[in-house]
Amino acid sequence: MAAVTLLHNPRCSKSRQALALLEAAGVTLTVRRYLDEPLSREELTSLQSKLGGAVLDWTRTKEAAFGAAGLSREAGDGALLDAMAAHPILMERPVAIVGDRAVVGRPPERVQELL
């Protein structure tokens, strides 16, 4: 089993639940508190390819930073990625990554898809 990286916000109950599921599974785990250690634009682009789909699907559009950044639901992927790099709170959490695959852990049990 490859190592799992969890992009984690300890203040989020879903993120804490996903972390508990991964720890219970006994996987090799790296936890990255993405609010304290934001992803670069390049890392976000890589994450987009691992998640697949539109960036809007893993953007927190109800965050105040979304509107403050001048974004709308019609914003393109590039604008959303730039905004996430500047305001990491805009990224949905948690995100589990294994190799070239990633899932948003909503619900938290989705992280088990990577195991």
Q: Roughly what angle, to the nearest 10 degrees, separates helices 77-86 and 41-51?
A: 130
Residue where the block lists tokens 């953007």: 59
Active-site residue, selected from the candidate residues 12, 21, 39, 80: 12
Q: Is 64 exposed, middle or buried (0-12, 13-18, 19+ CB in 10 A)?
A: exposed
Ramachandran sector of residue 39 (left: φ over 0; alpha: ψ -120 to 50; beta: rest): beta
Question: Do residues 60 and 90 lie in contact, with contact meaning Cβ atoms separated by under 8 Å?
Answer: yes
Is 12 part of the annotated catalytic residue set? Answer: yes
Residues classed as catalytic: 12
